Amino acid sequence: MPTAPDSHDAYDYAERIRDRLPRRLQELREACGLSMYALWMKCGVSRDMISRIEGGESIPTLHVAARLAHGVEKTLTEFVEPMEDE
């Protein structure tokens, strides 16, 4: 019998990333000395969307995550990998 999607290891992995993403984005943005507005101007992701992601209210698509990573001068791997290790 197949397991429910929310009891799968991949689901748990995705949830850990989801929980850690808001803090990771905020830390990287602040380390670069960027306000939400400045990050918006640098990568084109709206200040409202950045606020919702940092507030844990929204999960970025891969495309948006790549733009945010570029905005904080990281590759997508550099942006995500430390969240996997926490």
Percent of the chain with pLDDT over 90: 71
What's the confidence (pLDDT) of residue 57? 96
Gyration radius of the chain's alpha carbons = 14
pTM: 0.83
What's the confidence (pLDDT) of residue 23? 95
- Assess whether pLDDT exceeds 90 at residue 36: yes
What's the confidence (pLDDT) of residue 31? 97
Residue 69 or residue 81, greater confidence: 69
Domain architecture of the chain: domains with CATH: 5-85 (1.10.260.40)
